Amino acid sequence: MAYEFKLPDLGEGITSGEIKKWHVRKGEKVEEDQTIAEVETDKAVVELPSPVAGVVDDLKVPEGTKVNVGDVIAVIKEEGAPAEKEAPPMRAKAEEKVKEARKPEAKAPPAGEKKVPVLATPATRMLAKQLGVNIEDVKGTGPGGRITDEDVKAASAKPPVKPAEVPAKAPAAAPVGAEERIPMRGIRKTIADNLMRSLARTAQVTLVDDADLTKLVELRGRINQELAGTAKVSYLAFMVKAVVTALKAHPMLNSSVDDEKGEIVIKKYYNIGIAVDTDRGLIVPVLKNADKKSIIDISKELVHLTELTRDGKIGLEQLKGSTFTIANIGSIGGLFSTPIINYPESAILEMQQIRDMPRAVGGVIVPRKVIYLPLTIDHRVVDGAEGQRFLNDLKRYLEEPELLLVNMV
Amino acid sequence: MVVGDIEVGTDVLIAGAGPAGYTAAIRCARLGLDVTLVNKSELGGVCLHRGCVPVNTLLHVFRLADDCKGAGAMGIKADGLAVDYDKAYEWKDSVIKRLEDGIRDLCLGSGVQLMEGSCSFLSSSRAVVSGPSGNQHVNFKRAVIATGARHMPFPGIPFDGKVVLNPDEALYPGGVAEDVVLLGGGYAAMTIGALMAAQGRRLTIIHKGERVLSFLDDDIVRPVMEKFRAKGIKVYSTPSWAVTKSGDKMWVEFVRDGTEDSVETGKLIVAIGLLANTDGIGLENTGVKADKNGYILTDDNFHTDDQAFYAIGDVRGRHCNASKAFREGMSLAEILAGRPGWPEYEATPQTISTDPEIASAGFTEAKAREAGIEALVGRFPFTASGKAVSVGKTNGFVKVVAEKGSHRILGVHVVGPDAFDIAEEGVLAIEMGARLEDIVLTLHPHPTFCEAVREACAAALGESTNIVSKKAT
């Protein structure tokens, strides 16, 4: 008759274990007390002896599977046994063997203990949970061994044997009104998650260079005068054009890593993410196919995208698919910064403020329009030298903007 | 409500809006989490729509009528008194609706996003909800499976909603004169059996094992069995059974007192156990593991083998119980908010709507002996309760189980009037680790049924005779 071998109670409140190794195979003959499996619990590796003699009819779970106490893990066909049974004495026997087989450090519970539940009120048990104290281990000092709040607090003051499951750090009490708590959700949460993911998965390094924009400032002034208010080209539009032109020469900066497949994906299209500051937080709309657009078209589109974003009307499609990101903190101020990559891209450029700064031109110190350009790269795919070469090209296009015309489509 | 084809995102997606699911959802929302609750047409779950609530609502109606009919000695003239079935079932539906509306208001008022439909997981971060307004994809960070359990069919005899019914379907109003056979002797079988008995149906109960409600002490079940017998309900115990079906007729073959017997019926109710509602929810697309009955395996913090998934309520198996489901919902919400979950509790109150009602929590006398605990037992019959005598409901008693040495109360069992409510004092006593003296020395309101709990504790201490005789003055 078939005997269903269930994972016996392993004691010490252990409710599950992992089948580490089967010592028998299906169809194999087993003797009573022969070890049929090794089970790993959080405390020890335990050998399970067969409570009956017979032939292994079925092993219910493969090695490495987690099983709970009471789960049938094997079926053993007993030889010559009179009837189907799940005989308690046999189970008890298996448990006994388990206790013997347990490693010495795993102490058996003293007989007679833990028959009745822990003597503590629900509120005291909750306190124990909050303080990460295993209430079963606390010695009660109250009447009849009752565990009091004080007992629990005293136990929590001792260094714990193992770290508490939940690091429930109670926040330091602050005077009423001195703090405000805002749930971390929505866009704030998304921003936080994206940035943490970026920092956790990439090797970021920031290179900083500057560029003399004096000529670009003049050129832009002339163009905008020429347009006479019908349109306006922005520094950002020039930056987008210069970046795209430089990216073509340095394709690794327009790539991303497919972490799952372990492949670098080099993109032959140029979608530039533009970090926009909004009331709700930082949002990055995408200017698509920037290489195929004129500076004036880019200027117009940037105005449009920024407005949509600030008004919260930006569509999901317009937030997807960027290949390189430009952040423009310069409109607010600051000398330089270290931007975080918009994962999974491999680089991000910060546009700092254009400032009047002293520069040596032809051996003479003169005031020039200077911008700092921090570039953060994912060092996994872009080496420092390549990053700097990109910056060198970018700098050239910005300092000699007519060069952009040469490369214009 | 979210509709349309755009993908929605949520932090916590809860599949199943029964006691476990909706409680978790409301608490999560109040803790500031972004939570979406998927409701498969029954907000409040089986408990509210097909279980505890409707059964007890209907029972109240039929017992109220019975009480009136039996109150001639009190001066009630009940000639011609009858229950209008249509009205009674309308009342039941109105109760459900009112309570369901209440849950909906609580959910929406707390900021829970409700989605109607059935939820199927596509991966560990994505699910599709198929509802009246089409398919909606949901991206989630964490998911809670609270899809509950359903009745297991008799092997080879599937439920058909007509002649082979599960206990939920057996709430039907018509056909009072039919012969009904009920298979099973557990909680669900006794609950629906009690309703059918109250409705005056011609019922035969066939169960395995020596007696019904085998998890309770024999003496607690006895008044219920006596009442069944008085109502003409046959209760048979059998070691084995078989069902054959031909058209709308069924024959149950079983062994009665060592000889084979057979009973023919046109209505079979099968209440032989529960199955987890884990089929068709896409578990295969996740790392969640279940046992062979489909019950989801979790650790003590409701975490499954898939890091993104938790499970609460009946879908975890063990004891299916609404009180437990509420508790698990609350505890999990705390865990999801990064706080410690709630601690272990000692006693799960069981409520069985038989006549008389049974409420039971903690160690039974038999369980205490099995565990090697020397038990002190006290009983107090309702025949000695002033309140019970005055309302004419003296059937039953309160039984208290305590540890002999410490007098610590370990179990409280009530069979009798208002059992559900008065048992709670005992549940609190168990959780507090109270001694018999704590209850004996506490004043109880008078005249009440709950005085019987105090008297049972006194009886355990051997002081009942005095107290009872004092009451008689």
Q: Does domain A2-101 have CATH number 3.20.20.60?
A: no
**Looking at the DSSP assignment, which residues form a beta bridge with residue A59?**
A74
Q: What residue in A sits closest to B409 (Cα-Cα)?
A: A116
Nearest-angstrom CA–CA distance, B185 and B198: 17
Is the pLDDT assigned to residue A169 strictly greater than 50?
A: no
- Counting one residue from A and one from B, how many pairs have CB atoms under 8 Å apart? 69
On chain B, the residues whose CB falls within 8 A of the CB of A121 are: 431-433
Question: Amino acid letter at B80?
Answer: G
A183 vs B406: CB contact, 8 Å cut-off?
no
Where chain B has pLDDT below 70, the residues are 1-6, 464-473
Mean pLDDT of A104-122: 62
- Would you put residue B318 in left (φ > 0), alpha (ψ -120 to 50) or beta? left
Within chain B, all domains assigned CATH 3.50.50.60 are found at: 8-150+275-336, 164-270
Q: Classify strands B241-246 and B249-256 as parallel, antiparallel or unpaired.
A: antiparallel
Is the pLDDT assigned to residue A292 strictly greater than 70?
A: yes
* Tens of pLDDT, residues A28-81: 778 777 788 887 765 566 778 787 888 888 888 887 778 888 888 888 887 644
* Tens of pLDDT, residues A328-372: 888 888 888 999 999 999 999 999 999 999 999 889 999 999 999
Nearest-angstrom CA–CA distance, B116 and B3: 10
Question: Amino acid letter at A56?
Answer: V
Nearest-angstrom CA–CA distance, A229 and A238: 18
Kindly give, in sequence order, each residue whose CB lies less than 8 Å from that of residue A230, ignoring residues fewer than 6 positions away: none
Buried b (16+ CB within 10 A) or exposed e, A293-327: bebbebbbbbeebbebbeeeebeeebeeebbbbbb
Architecture of domain A122-157 in this structure: Irregular (4.10)
More confident residue, A39 or A146: A146
Q: Tell me what pLDDT residue A164 has.
A: 44
Q: Which of residues 158-217 of A touch B (CB under 8 A)?
A: 165-166, 168, 183, 185-186, 189
Q: Tell me what pLDDT residue A179 has.
A: 82
Q: Where are the alpha helices (DSSP H) in A160-208?
A: 186-201
CATH of domain B356-472: 3.30.390.30
* Tens of pLDDT, residues B66-118: 999 999 999 999 999 999 999 999 999 999 999 999 999 999 999 999 999 99
Nearest-angstrom CA–CA distance, A262 and A247: 23
Candidates B32, B340, B346; nearest CB to A117: B346
The answer to whether B54 and B96 have CB atoms below 8 angstroms apart is yes
Q: What residue in B sits closest to A112 (Cα-Cα)?
A: B372
Q: Tell me what pLDDT residue A255 has.
A: 95
The tokens of A102 are what? 């347990």
> What percent of chain A clears pLDDT 70, i.e. is strictly above it?
82
The answer to whether A401 and A233 have CB atoms below 8 angstroms apart is no
B339 vs A165: CB contact, 8 Å cut-off?
no
Nearest-angstrom CA–CA distance, B221 and B215: 10
**Is residue A60 classed exposed, middle or buried when 0-12, 13-18 and 19+ CB atoms within 10 A define those classes?**
middle
Q: HEC states along A89-115?
A: HHHHHHHHHHHHHCCCCCCCCCCCCCC
The H-or-E segment that residue B201 falls in is none
- Break chain A into its structural domains and give their ranges: 2-101, 122-157, 187-406
Q: Tell me what pLDDT residue A177 has.
A: 67
- Annotated catalytic residue within A23, A250, A304, A379: A379
Kindly give, in sequence order, each residue whose CB lies less than 8 Å from that of residue B222, ignoring residues fewer than 6 positions away: none
Nearest-angstrom CA–CA distance, B393 and A242: 92
Is the pLDDT assigned to residue A110 strictly greater than 60?
A: no
**Looking at the DSSP assignment, which residues form a beta bridge with residue B248?**
none
Q: Is B413 a catalytic residue?
A: no
Sign of torsion over alpha carbons A279, A281, A285, A290: positive
B408 vs A129: CB contact, 8 Å cut-off?
no
**Is residue B380 classed exposed, middle or buried when 0-12, 13-18 and 19+ CB atoms within 10 A define those classes?**
buried
B371 vs A115: CB contact, 8 Å cut-off?
yes
Nearest-angstrom CA–CA distance, B140 and B129: 12
Block residue for tokens 């199955």: B275
Nearest-angstrom CA–CA distance, A201 and A64: 29
Nearest-angstrom CA–CA distance, B192 and A355: 83
Buried b (16+ CB within 10 A) or exposed e, A81-117: beeeeeeeebeebbeebbbebbeeebeeeeeeeeebb
Task: Tell me how close the Cα of B292 comes to any Cα of chain A, in angstroms.
Answer: 9
- Angle subtended at Cα B463 by Cα B457 and Cα B466, rounded to the nearest 5 degrees: 125
Phi, psi (rounded to 5 degrees) for B314: -60, -20
The answer to whether A256 and A265 have CB atoms below 8 angstroms apart is yes
Nearest-angstrom CA–CA distance, A397 and A390: 11
Q: Say if A119 is an interface residue toward chain B (CB within 8 Å).
A: yes
Q: Tell me what pLDDT residue A288 has.
A: 94
Question: Amino acid letter at A197?
Answer: R
The CATH number for A187-406, chosen from 3.30.559.10, 3.30.420.40, 1.10.10.10, 3.40.50.1820, is: 3.30.559.10
DSSP single-letter state for residue B308: T
Q: Is A184 helix (H, G, I), strand (E, B) or coil?
A: coil
Which residue, among B219, B268, B277, has the nearest Cα to B241 in the 3D structure?
Answer: B268
Q: Is the pTM of this model over 0.80?
A: no
Candidates B340, B343, B403; nearest CB to A122: B343
Q: What residue in A sits closest to B331 (Cα-Cα)?
A: A126
Q: Does domain B8-150+275-336 have CATH number 3.50.50.60?
A: yes
On chain B, the residues whose CB falls within 8 A of the CB of A115 are: 371-373
Task: Tell me how close the Cα of B330 comes to any Cα of chain A, in angstroms.
Answer: 13
CATH of domain B164-270: 3.50.50.60
Is the pLDDT assigned to residue A1 strictly greater than 80?
A: no
Candidates B291, B346, B373; nearest CB to A115: B373
Q: Say if A148 is an interface residue toward chain B (CB within 8 Å).
A: no
On chain B, the residues whose CB falls within 8 A of the CB of A130 are: 339-340
Q: Tell me what pLDDT residue B159 has.
A: 95
- On the CB side of A9, how many CA atoms lie within 13 Å of its CA? 11
The answer to whether A270 and A324 have CB atoms below 8 angstroms apart is yes
Q: How far is CA A339 from CA A326, A373, B60, in A?
A: 9, 11, 69
The tokens of A406 are what? 């040469």
Q: Say if B283 is an interface residue toward chain A (CB within 8 Å).
A: no
Q: How far is CA A142 from the centre of its chain?
A: 46
Is the pLDDT assigned to residue A107 strictly greater than 80?
A: no
Q: Tell me what pLDDT residue A100 has.
A: 39
DSSP single-letter state for residue B290: B
Which residue, among B447, B471, B455, B458, has the nearest Cα to B393 in the 3D structure?
Answer: B447
Beta strand segments in A131-217, E: 204-212
